[in-house]
Structures are given as C-alpha cells and as structure tokens.
Chain A
C-alpha cells in the first residue's frame, strides 16, 4: 500500500509523517509519533478516550484518518501542561481524585480544556452535556464534574 506524506501541526510544532490512508489519526499519533496520551477505548467514536482538537474543535481521533490531518492544527493532551507546570485542570484532577484507572483522563482533559476556552463560566449541566461523549467506568463522573467547575472558578478569578 502506497503511503501518503502528511504535514500537520501538533501542539504547535510542525510534524511530518508517512501513513497508510486507512490509518486513523489515533493510530498515527500513538504508533507513528509516540504520542500515546490519546487512548483507544472503542475505536468507533463512542468513548471519547481518543479526544484531540482539530483547528480548535473537539474531535475523536479514532473517527478521523491520519491523511485528513494535512494542513490542520492538532492539539493533544501532551500539549496541555506547560513543560513541568501542570495545567490548572490537571492540578484539580489530582486534588479531586477525578481519576482512578486514568484511561479516560487524557480525553476528558482535552475536552474540558476546550470547553473552558469557549465558555469560562459553564453551568454544571453544560459541563455534563459537553462531556457526555467521554465515558468513564471508574469515577462515577461526579469528581470530574466538580474538578472542572472548580478549575473554571479558579481560572476566572486568576484572570
């Protein structure tokens, strides 16, 4: 199978890769680029563990081909922290114990960050609807929701 050359930006850096047209963006991130933050929970768009942003829009990387990334800007969980400095959401997730096994966490962090960029003051209902496509089999969601709401409050105060 002929591989296709793709140029894209991931977390601000220009990245080039070769991939088979059948490979998903998730396959490319994990298996070709070593960015294993995005997880494969289902591979069919149901769980959100593979969430990334594409030009600022939240997307399941398992529902997008690697070749479709050409010319677009991808954001993954690896781009959330600033070097050693964790993002406020990451700190709050630890503080609230909003994760147990952690499989869902990268996707939820990417999704929650995307929400707060669009809406710095979401209601609980808005957070729950926004994250409805991110399944978690451990926490029961409550700690996740509270961590997101508290981060939002803290970030509003800080700005």
Chain B
C-alpha cells in the first residue's frame, strides 16, 4: 500500500487518476481502517487529504449557506456556534453516528462516500438539499448529495474524482429540518429506518417540503412526492396520512436480522409522521 499526503486537491486528483488497483481517500478513516482491518478492502493507494488547505474549515458561503470542509469531523459540526441552530436535523443526524471517539474522526462526506443505505447523515443531507463539489481531471462540478450513492458501497464518482467540499443551502426564514432513526437500542447502532424531513412554512402553511429515507432501499431514497403531499397544508392529519403512504410506497428494503421488510415499511410511515411534526414545529418557530 502506498500512502500519500498531498498538499492540494489537484495533486490528490493526479495521484488518484494515475493509480492502479484500489484507491481510497483517507479523511476520518472510520470506515476505511475497519475495511482494511477486516480484509474487506485493501487499498493499493491511500490518499490522506487532511493536509490540504481548508479541509478543516466551516465557512459561510456567499449565498448565506455553508461550505463544510471534507475533513471536518462530526464533533466539530456539533460544536459549531451556528450550524446546529440553522440545520438541527443535519447536525443531529451526523451526531448519531458512532461513539464519542468516532465523532472525533468521522466526517459526513466519508459517511456519504461509504455509500451505506443506512448512513445516518445522508437522508438529512438529501432532505436539506445539500450538494457536494466533485473535482476530477476535468475540473470541478456541483452534484446533489442524492446523486452520489448508486448502490450499497458504490458511488457515481469516476476514477480520479474526489469530493472537495460539502455545501448546505442558505437556511432562510421559516425553515426547519429534523432527522430520526429507529434502532433496537438507545445508542450506537445501525439504522433500521432513518428519516429526514426539511420544511419551509409561511405562517402555518407549508411552502416547501423534502423528505428522504435511509435503510429502506439500496440507496438513501428521496421521496419525491413529499412536496405534493405537504405543500399548501398545515400538516393536518390528512397530510400526514398522505406523507406516511408515500414513505411506505418508497420502501424497497431487505429482510435481515435487524428488521423484516414488513417491519421496515411500517416504521417508514411512523417515522415520516414523527419527523415531519418536529420539522414543522421548528420551521414555525423560525419565522
């Protein structure tokens, strides 16, 4: 295994583009090292991106949103003075991943690139409308978070491409988001179902809505009908019923030891309601 610690993304991309065999990017390492240790993935080339300028920064973007560096760990996001207030759902989702020790290393972009359907941060990021900058030999482009995972452990990134930043949109007035997951214990487990909802309201009426589900399909699933079900409503019972039906219809889960198809599908409806209510309260309080 060759270990590289480039000083720029251009250098990192040149190494990744020219590398033979398996290449892995090392940020927090909480997935990469476990895979190495368990002989699941033994990289030929390991590119440590933590020495690149700006990867540890959280900065306010020109449009009022946020740019989060790719080596920013979960704990740094939770401790940030503004992010938890503006994007509580995203921050809670990131904070649910692993132990205190893992929070000190693990990054949301790593969670995204690991491409587990049960990744906690991803449904919240998709609901928030987050994007990433993907940089490759042909320059940078912005990609929606939901377009990165293509299947369990697989992403749409091409050879030589690296995610160089995570972007959250401007929160704006009357916005609120939330994320919850079902696990069989109280802490530190893998989601059986995860649900992220992001709303905007004007008065009591919902004007924008996005929802995404985790662990119920091969990739995190954006429930595209959520806006149709919720916009124009005051989150009455009929709107919640419609949302729960959509969530259940979006499920295409597997049966495994953590949950059956039937159980996961049922939970998706329960969590859609529950999380939408929290996001709604937060959105109303943020006007």
CB of B102 within 8 Å of the partner chain = yes
- The answer to whether A45 and B98 have CB atoms under 8 Å apart is yes
Contacts of A48 in B (CB 8 A): 99, 101
- The answer to whether B188 and A65 have CB atoms under 8 Å apart is no
B1, B26, B46, B104: residue with the most chain A Cβ atoms closer than 10 Å: B104
Contacts of A21 in B (CB 8 A): 1-3, 46
Q: CA A41 – CA B104 in complex, angstroms?
A: 19
Known contacts A65-B33, A129-B187, A132-B188, A45 near B50 by CB under 8 Å:
no
Q: CA A131 – CA B98 in complex, angstroms?
A: 11
| Contact code string A42-63 (vs B, CB < 8 Å = 1, else 0) | 0111001001001001111011
Q: List 13 A-B contacts (CB under 8 A).
A: A44-B37, A45-B33, A45-B99, A57-B104, A63-B29, A63-B30, A63-B101, A65-B29, A68-B29, A111-B101, A132-B100, A133-B100, A133-B188
Q: Interface size (B, Cβ < 8 Å)? A: 26
A43, A44, A51, A63: residue with the most chain B Cβ atoms closer than 10 Å: A63
Taking Cβ atoms with an 8 Å cutoff, the residues of B that contact A are: 1-3, 5, 26, 29-30, 33-34, 36-38, 46, 48, 50, 73, 75, 98-102, 104-105, 187-188
Contacts of B46 in A (CB 8 A): 21
Contacts of B48 in A (CB 8 A): 67-68
- The answer to whether A64 and B1 have CB atoms under 8 Å apart is no
B246 to chain A, nearest CB (A): 34
Taking Cβ atoms with an 8 Å cutoff, the residues of A that contact B are: 1, 4, 21-22, 24, 43-45, 48, 51, 54, 57-60, 62-65, 67-68, 70, 111, 129-134
Known contacts A65-B29, A65-B33, A132-B188, A111 near B100 by CB under 8 Å:
yes
Contacts of A131 in B (CB 8 A): 100
Contacts of A132 in B (CB 8 A): 99-100, 187-188
Contacts of A57 in B (CB 8 A): 73, 75, 104
Known contacts A21-B2, A65-B29, A65-B33, A44 near B105 by CB under 8 Å:
no
CB < 8 Å neighbour of B38 from A44, A51, A67:
A44
Contacts of B98 in A (CB 8 A): 45, 133
CB < 8 Å neighbour of B3 from A65, A130, A134:
A65
When C-beta atoms are compared, the residue in chain A nearest to B185 turns out to be A132
Contacts of A1 in B (CB 8 A): 1
A85 to chain B, nearest CB (A): 27
CB < 8 Å neighbour of B36 from A22, A58, A68, A111:
A22
- The answer to whether B101 and A60 have CB atoms under 8 Å apart is yes
Contacts of B73 in A (CB 8 A): 57
Known contacts A43-B37, A63-B30, A22 near B1 by CB under 8 Å:
yes
A120 to chain B, nearest CB (A): 17
Known contacts A44-B34, A57-B75, A64-B29, A133 near B101 by CB under 8 Å:
yes
Known contacts A45-B102, A58-B100, A68 near B50 by CB under 8 Å:
yes
Q: CA A51 – CA B99 in complex, angstroms?
A: 11
Known contacts A21-B46, A45-B30, A58 near B101 by CB under 8 Å:
yes
- The answer to whether B36 and A45 have CB atoms under 8 Å apart is no
Q: CA A62 – CA B99 in complex, angstroms?
A: 14
- The answer to whether A45 and B101 have CB atoms under 8 Å apart is yes
Contacts of B187 in A (CB 8 A): 129, 132
- The answer to whether A133 and B99 have CB atoms under 8 Å apart is yes
CB < 8 Å neighbour of A62 from B1, B3, B33:
B33
Q: CA A23 – CA B77 in complex, angstroms?
A: 29
